[in-house]
Every structure is written in C-alpha cells, then in structure tokens.
Structure 1
Amino acid sequence: MPLVQREPALAIFRVCVLKLSLTGAAIMMKLLIVASAASAWSLGVKGTLPKLNNRALQSTQQRQQQVVATAPASATALKATEVTGGAKAEDGLMETLKTGSFFALWYLFNIGYNIYNKKALNVLPMPWTLATLQLFAGIPYVLLLWSTGARKTPKLTQDNLKTLFPVACGHLGTHIGAVISLGAGAVSFTHIVKASEPVVSAALSAVMLGAFYSPITYLTLLPIVGGVALASLKELSFTWLGFGAAMLSNVSSALRGILAKKTMGGGVGENMNETNLYAVMTIMAFAVLLPVSLLVETPKAVGAAINTAVAAGTSKKDLAILSALSGAYYYLYNEVAFLALGRVNPVTHAVGNTIKRVVIIIASVIAFNTPISRLGVIGSSIAITGTLLYSLAKNKYG
C-alpha cells in the first residue's frame, strides 16, 4: 500500500483506539455482560459438548414420541424422519453459531488485552503491579457467578488445593512472564517468541514425563526454532529482558500442562469444569503474586510511577481505565478461550491458535505502528507456520 494511502488508514485506526479508551468503562461493562451471557449460554454444556448433544438428542426423541402419539399410523415413519432431520439441522446450525461466536469473542478479547496491556505499560512501567491487578480483575466477576448460582460453586478439600498449587504457580509464571515481556518490547515480538512454546513443551515432556513423539513431529520443531531465531536477529525492538521473560512464560506454560497431567489425571474436587478450574487457578495465582508484587514494586515506587505518568500528561482516571480494561480483557479472553477450545477437535484448536497469534501480531503492529524488518516478517511467518505443523503432526503421528 502506498504511503499516502496508508497514513490516513493508520490515523483513522488510532482515532478509533482513542475513542475506545475514552469510553473504556462503558466498554468493560458491555464486555462483562457479553461474557456473562456466553457463560450462561454454556451452562448446559457442563464442560463438554457431547453432553449438550445428548440433551438435544433426548429432546428430539421426545418430539418423535409426540409425533407417534398424534399422527396416523400410516404417516408415523415419515413424520418421525422429518422431525429428526429438522432437529439435527437446527441443532447443528446452533452449535456452529455458538462455536463461531466463542472464537470471535476470543480473538476480540485477546486483541483488546494485548493493546490495552501495552498501552498501560507504556504509561505505567510497573509490570508486577499490573499483572497483579489483571489477576484480581476476574475474581469479583466469578464470585458473582458463584454467589448467584449462575455457575456451580467448586468444592475443594485442602488436599485438592495442594494438588492445584503447582499448576497455579505455572499459570502465574505464564502470566507474569508475558506481562514483563510485553512491557520490555513490542507486542509482536513477544508473540513471535511465544510461538516457540511447542519446543519447550516437547523438551520438558521428554525429561519429566518420559514422553517422546514421532520423528516427524520433532522435525516440525526446526522451522519454529529457525523462524524465531531469524525474527530475533534483526528485530528492531529486541531486548534480552523481553526475550527472556517470553521464554519464562513458555516454560511456565509447558510446566503447567505437564503438572496438570501428572497430578490431575483423575480430576480434583467437585464442580471443577474448565472455567471453574481456570477461576480457582487465577485466585490462587493472585494470592501468591500479591506479596511478591508488593516487595518487587513497593507502594512508594508505584506511587512515584503514577506521579510521573500524571506529570507526562496521563490523568489518574485514564490510568485507572487502562488498568481496568487490561484486567477485564485478560480474564474474559481466557474465559472465552476455554469455552471455544473445549468445543472443537485438536486440529481446529491448532488452526485457531495459529490464526489468533497472526491476528494479534498484525493488530499490534497497526495499533502501535511497530516497525518490523523484512527478515522479522519472514522469520515470524516461518515460526508460526511451524507451530501449526507441529500441532497437526502431533495430533496425527503422536
């Protein structure tokens, strides 16, 4: 696109982002309403799509029985077939629309989190404090769902909490590593490095679980490593802190999955579906991070950073809005991700994750006008493609 045409487009985009920032409180309220509706919509799922299909099948059978009872004997078979076909088509369409809606919300919330998180870190470079606030943001939301009965309250024993604690620490490391990396460099670079998570996961699975994959699966790791290396070589926003924190996030994410597999094979507690598991891990991660955050970034240091931001032209109200939006988007995108990914097979999951990372990189480059070298574009494309190939190969060959 010629420069003359591109600049107005970027200007319009930035104006839209500014307007979103000025109406942040209203947006957050709408998002909470949408997420609550999505959660309520999924209550019948109870964590797995087959249960919903069974319920739809029972409804179809009841309708068939009504047809049999009221229709003439000569038309019974034909009517039953018509009802069954119509119900299946209607149910299939509704399930497709639900899944598509969850994926759309997942992408939207994820983009919102990355943009508002980076905007907050740009004016208030306190990653530990912001990470703590983001973990806290979802707690009142989920407590409201539990207290009103909109979602079943999890029941956990002390032993269950001990089992979940290492997994929650992995969840915490994944989050704090990503926030620190986003604060130290460009959003696009963080997600390029995070595309190498399959490499870390494969290595740790071999060491900790003795799990080895097919040679074809291991071959797909090569483009991931090579792509990340190429993208990092000429990355204009490269910092060792950003790279190291993103790798910490990768390691923690891989450990979270491995520890969950080792300690939670039979499940823990009652009413612990995917969304409740994520909520409990978030609460535990917040409890661990809060004292650490207060030590690393003391209230005095945070106050000084706020005063500096205000002196630079950002009001305390804008700081509060940015922090609240980043927290709301963080919890909502994870909440909807569980609902979306729990409804699809591994191949669709892999494709969805790959598209998500591409969308985030493109959106962040446009939003922040981040310069990326040609080698960076080539490297990131190779790495993301390798991530998709790894997921597909692992699903087919093991």
Structure 2
Amino acid sequence: MTHVPHEAAHLHARHQAVLPSWLSLYYERPLELTHGEGRHVWDAEGNRYLDFFGGILTTMTAHALPEVTKAVSEQAGRILHTSTLYLSRPMVELAERIAALSGIPDARVFFTTSGTEANDTALLLATTHRRSNQILAMRNSYHGRSFSTVGITGNQSWSPTSLSPLQTLYVHGGVRSRGPYAELGDREFIAACVADLEDMLQQTAGGVAALIAEPVQGVGGFTAPPDGLYAAFREVLARHDILWISDEVQTGWGRTGDHFWGWQAHAENGPPDLLTFAKGIGNGMSVGGVVARAEVMNSLTANSISTFGGSPVTMAAGLANLNHLLEHDLQGNARRVGGLLIERLRAVAAGLDIVREVRGRGLMIGLELVRPGTDEPSPEAASLVLEAARERGLLIGKGGQGGASLRIAPPMSLTVAEAEEGAGLLAEALRTAQAVLAGA
C-alpha cells in the first residue's frame, strides 16, 4: 500500500488540538476515509479497504448506493429543512412503513437524529407512562452517550459517570458464555436469569418502569442470550406492568439474517412495547427513532418538537434505503452470506489460541480474544488484529469487555467472494497477532 504519513499526522495533530481527548480514534496512524463504493472505502492516501464495519453498522446496504444518493439529491434540490412544526410527506410515508413493519399494534413513530436520542426518548416515554424512574438494564449493555443513556449502560468502558437521573438495576442474561450461569444449558440458563429477575423485582420499592435490552449487544461484543430469554422475561414483566424496550439500533432491518428485528428471536409473548432504531436505516444519514404503542407514545402531556428529527432529506434517504433493502432481500443475503462467513471464521479460530469464541448471527459476528493459554480477555490481541487487518486492507471493529472482542458487520449486500476474501485477510491478521503475543 502507498502511504503519505506526513499529511495524516498533520490532520491527526489538528484533531487533537480542537476535539475532546475522549473522542478516541482507531489505529496508531488514524485513517481519513474519503470515499466509498459498494463494500469498499478509500483513504486519503489512496489505499482501498474491504469494509467489514460499515461506519459502526451504519452503512447498511452499500457505500454510495445510487438510490439513496439520488433521493438525497432530489430532496435537497426541493427543500432541505422544515421541522416537525409542518406536515412532511416523506416523514409520514417512512413512519407508515416502519409502523407496519414493527409488529407493534396501533404503533406511533417518533423520529430522532441518532440511536442515543432514540433511547433517551424511549426512557422519557416509559418513565412518564409508568410514573417511575426505575429501569432494568442488562449487564454489558450499551445504549448511547447522553446523560440518561450512560446511566443505563452496563459496560464500564462506556459509562463515564455514575451520576444518573434514573435508578438502574442490572439483570443477568446478555452474555451467554461468561458469568455465573455460563456452564448451564440454554433452558437452565434462561430459568436462572428469570429467577434472578424475579428476585430483583422483589427487592425494589415501587414499580419499575421498563426493561431496556439489545437483542444482540453491540458495543458489548455481539453477545446474545439464548433465543427465548426475553420472551421469558416478558412473562414476568407483564405481571408487574413493566414495559419492554427493545433497542434495535444495531440489530434491526434484518442484519441478524434470521429475523427482521432482533426481538423476533424472543417473540413467543408478542412484540415489545417500544422499539428504538437508528444507524442502518439512513445508510449514513442521521436517522433514529422510537416506535411505541399509541397509549405509551401519547402519554407525554407537554408540547414537544424535533428540529432535525424527521428532516425531509433524511426521511427521503430512509425511504429509498428501506425500499432497496426489501426489494433485494438483504435480510436473506445476511443470513446466507453471514452463515458462510461465520463458518469460515470458526474454521480459522479452531487452530488459534487467541480466539476464545466466534459468535453471532447473520452479518453481525463477534470474535472474543484472550491471552494465549488463558481465559483472560485480551484487549492487546484485539488491537494487534485491528492493526494487522488494516495493513492487509480490511477494516473491522472492536468491543466487548475492555475492548477484547472483534466486531464484524459489513454492509448487508456483501457477496460470497467478499466474505471469502475478508475471512482470509482476517485469518492472516489473527495469525500475526498470535505470533506477536507468543513471541512476547
């Protein structure tokens, strides 16, 4: 690859001079991505990369998707902004589509600009409806960067303050292969987590407002409970009139392959009361939102608006992107190509001491890395693999406890050939990291 390190170093220095120290960057030599097409992106030095992270699961369909680019351009040529104080045809049309797809009866949709804001809104709705500031959340969870959402984030690496307007109670179940119930079979695991939930509710004073949970934990390293856990939780929640919020910011729109929404792996007792979405629906445009039963959504008694939520341009992008996703069955592609990719990565991992687990479904795959010869999570190994993959032309993500898990989430239009190529590049990066750690 061709490198022009001076220009990148200069931009990095400018970044450090004006942006927060906690706004972390990937790589020892941070990348400036300048353009993309399909499943590939290019940096400012002219290097081409196979994108296996999609801007943190946001480039859902493809880079520079013509339908989205055209929709954005045409809408921008008419009017860029109006606000929610005026009727908006694109907003109504996208809301109708999402309400119908959500599975929630008598659904109402409120648009935001991010997943953080969507989850913040869901918390506002649930606590107002239930007249309680008590929230159940999952251990190892992540729901955003606002003051309220870091207060329900069960992953220490992403929760910078213990102060919160909410009283949060953390429940077992989001991580299958670690913790006190890891050695149990799936049915026993679910039973133990339900018993833990029941016990916790007996200790609380007053009524809990809601449980918020990611069907697959994103920043947590793509961990997930056995199918049916949240259905079992729902039985308990229903007895206590506690709402269920499904955080679909990363799992929505068919990325897991098996289902359109992550909650559908836990659907025995019906849909959630609220679901939140963002990231992929805009394919890079700032779109987020909440879907809720009308009774819950309409429980706010004061006026509210959104200046930028539901803007004409982002709604046009969302509509075009959703149409493309459905017309090209990208959920089915995620299931088929994702299944192949997981198989390839498990075959690679079988011969490596640094890979503890390959997990996930569809095009949402996590690899948990450990120090060779131990069960100890290794952030160092994850950083080594991230760098080695970049040098080979592959972009991946990190997450999990301490940042010891790799996150694989390419655009959902990934081809079989690209999956094979990416698996090969990642295998080389993993072997390189293992050799470095063994030498150390």
TM-score, length-scaled by structure 2: 0.24
Normalized per residue, the structure richer in strand is: 2
Instruction: Point out the structure with max Rg over C-alpha.
Output: 1
Asked which structure has the greater RCO (Cα within 8 Å, sep 6+), the reply is: 1
Normalized per residue, the structure richer in helix is: 1
